[in-house]
Amino acid sequence: MEQPGQLAESLTEDGRYRLLIEAVTDYAIYMLDPDGTVVSWNPGAQRFKGYSADEIIGQHFSRFYTEEDRAAGVPKRALETALREGKFESEGWRVRKDGTRFWAYVVIDPIRAPSGELVGFAKITRDLTERKAAEEKLRQSQEQFQLLVQGVTDYAIYLLDPGGNVSNWNLGAQRIKGYLPEEIVGQHFSRFYTDEDRAAGLPQLALDTVRREGRFEREGWRVRKDGTRFWAHVIIDAIRRDDGSLIGFAKITRDITERREAQEQLERTREAFVQSQKMDAIGQLTGGVAHDFNNLLMAVLGSLELMRKRLPDDPKLLSLLENATKGAERGAALTKRMLAFARRQELKQEAIDIPDLVRGMTELLQGSLGSAVSLELRFPLALPPVLGDANQLELALLNLAVNARDAMPGGGEIVISAREQAVLAGEYALKPGRYVHLRIADTGMGMDDTTLRRATEPFFTTKGPGKGTGLGLSMVHGLAEQFGGRFSLQSRKDEGTVAELWLPVAEGRAQPVPPRRRDDEVESSLPLVILAVDDDPLVLTNTAAMLEDLGHACYAASSAQEALEILKSDDRIDLVITDQAMPRMTGLQLASAIRGERPDMPIVLATGYAEIDEAADIKLPRLAKPFTLADLAAQIGRLALQSRAGGQIIKFRGNGGE
């Protein structure tokens, strides 16, 4: 048996080539005669074309082509190209014996004899179907990705070269930033940044961060083509080759301006809610304190008034008494402001003509403002009346005018104007309807943002110690809310302040407010038997003393239950004066119980606290705390007049007759 070395030596050169070709299975290597007929066939050709040598030798090589290619003359052109150019090389679909197709890489070389005569063609074919499928899959994936990127309109998705220049541009980038591809491709991405950010070097900082860390993410202002700004969320990622070298950057930008505004609005709403809760808690506390303080002032003022009538005519004592009375009256004014802030003061709802009310208090306003401040009124010829309390509205206007004066230490101008305004749902934080918009504008020093935010908080003041209670603006705020309107301030430092009151329009015409009677004009009445009811012993003692000073006989009851027992035991009682806020049974509940037994009994409700339900079935005359001797006498006198006008008789028992 021959050894391998001996076999190799014994083979001719042609034999060695034949062995080599027969050993190749990944390539179809065969020979064609000059007409294209197959004259040799290797195992590689048999493996992926499916024909055995016996089946294919002598057949034309065109049977490996598709019908379309044969019809188009592709096999013939392949041989012609090989002859003309010395080589033919291409890729295309070929057909196996079983009819299936495969993607082939084909090389055809002409074979010539030493004399130059064409002997035939050498044809080498390789099956590249798997590579073709992979390439096709990659191509489809790239097309799909490109379609995806180009189809996205909510995100700007584009590439930057290593220097930061834009190399492509999707529809989202065009929509968000306003540039067409031909306008921006090749330009540096820093043009999307604001002037401040470019000056601070933020674009370069972003690229340096990506080179170092592989990623950059941030939010900030960006600039559109038209110069407008939008709040953007930006991500930049590095794109690198397999060897780690930088190809460029992928940049994704999203316009989140609306989301940012929504978040800011949510935060403002949350802050407003917290502030509202805080103010409500302060209001509850303030209202309760003011109610109790009112009762104390009631006792102090009533006692001082009774003392005045009994003291000897001593100027020193009278001066001290007058000083104490003024202090108590200032305390009463303070409680009114506290109750106004807490929206718990007693209000008389009536139709008010704003121009008439303001003109009627012009002299008072000008006297309070001084000569250095000019006052101008601007009202339309026709303005509907508003619903409110004239006295409280006058007090609010006076407060606002004095605040404006204090903001103009060197003098200035105050303009009071008004106009009608229709409010739709969701506007001005008001219920829909018709309002009168009352403005008090000054040319003073104005307020900064911090002061403006706190201006209506109770007890907040920028005035020096002893020069302000800090309740003026909070009182106006509470009053406007209680009227069913709104109060707001607009101000800038060194640009003055505008105070705005929105007051609901009243149905019907404004009624002129009757002039107040002087104390000596109050209707008097003959002595009555009066039942005074109050759970505060100081107030009860004081009320009984005032009634007795007016010449009336008085029963004193410290609770509603005690009052009912007294009424059952004595039918001579002509009038009941009761507090409203009492434990276990309120004044209205007491009145209801009394009316069940004695329907014609006159009842007066004494209160300084607006805790009475306006929808209550019983409507009673009210006496606002703290009341004076004259207030008490006037209320009793009015009841006497109403009784006579209604044909009823109040029994006067002071002289034993009716």
Based on the domain organization, do 480 and 569 belong to the same domain?
no
**Cα angle at 307 between 301 and 308, to 5 degrees?**
90
3-class secondary-structure state, position 170:
coil
What's the rounded Cα separation, in Å, for the pair 574 and 643? 11
Q: How many domains, in total, are found in the chain?
A: 4
- CA 8 to CA 6: how far, in whole Å? 5
Question: Is 53 part of any domain?
Answer: yes
Rounded Cα distance between 161 and 187, Å, is 10
**Is 305 domain-assigned?**
no
Quick one: how far is CA 145 from the chain centroid? Answer: 38
Write the pLDDT tens digit of every residue in 556-580. 999 999 999 999 998 889 899 998 8
- Does residue 293 lie within any of the structural domains? no
Least confident segment among 117-131, 502-516, 551-565: 502-516
Separation of alpha carbons 217 and 222, rounded Å? 14
Query: Is 366 inside any structural domain?
Result: yes
How far separated are the first and last CA of the chain, in Å rounded? 163
Residues 357 and 499 in one domain: yes
Residue type for position 100: T
Report which of residues 267 and 586 the model is more confident about.
586
Both 617 and 562 in a single domain? yes
Is the same domain home to 487 and 366? yes
Is the same domain home to 356 and 475?
Answer: yes
23 with 73, same domain: the answer is: yes
Q: Which two tokens stand for residue 592?
A: 């209801």
- Examine the domain organization and report whether 564 and 481 are in the same domain: no
Per residue, the 3-state secondary structure of 240-286, as one string, reads ECCCCCEEEEEEEEEECHHHHHHHHHHHHHHHHHHHHHHHHHHHHHH
Same domain, 420 and 390: yes
The reply to whether 231 and 377 lie within a common domain is no
Choose one of 206, 229, 255: the last residue of a domain.
255
Which is higher by pLDDT, 147 or 504? Answer: 504
Q: Report the C-alpha gap between 435 and 437 in whole angstroms.
A: 6
Q: Which residue has the higher pLDDT, 10 or 599?
A: 599
The angle formed by the CA atoms of residues 497, 502 and 504, to the nearest 5 degrees, is 165
Q: Residues 354, 499: one domain?
A: yes
* 543: in domain: yes
The whole domain housing 213 covers 152-255
CATH code, 232: 3.30.450.20
In a domain, 318, yes or no: no
Same domain, 79 and 170: no
| Claim to verify: residue 114 and residue 169 sit in the same structural domain | no
What's the token pair of residue 290? 């003011």
> How far is Cα 397 from Cα 377, in angstroms, rounded to an integer?
13
Is residue 512 situated within a structural domain?
A: no
pTM for this structure? 0.41
What mean pLDDT comes out for the span 519-524?
42
Domain ends where: 471, 504, 537?
A: 504
* CA distance readout (Å), 350 to 210, 324, 354, 387: 71, 34, 12, 5
pLDDT at 625 over 60: yes
CATH number at residue 382: 3.30.565.10
Task: Lowest mean pLDDT of 155-159, 328-332, 593-597, name the range.
Answer: 328-332
* Chain mean pLDDT for the chain: 80
Task: Assign residue 214 a region (left: φ > 0; alpha: ψ between -120 and 50; beta: otherwise).
Answer: left
Band (pLDDT 50/70/90 cuts) for residue 457 is low
Domain end: 236, 255, 274, which one?
255
Asked whether residue 288 is domain-assigned, the answer is no
* Residue corresponding to tokens 């000059």: 34
pLDDT in tens, 221-269: 999 999 999 999 999 999 898 888 898 998 999 999 988 888 888 887 7
CATH of the domain at 536: 3.40.50.2300
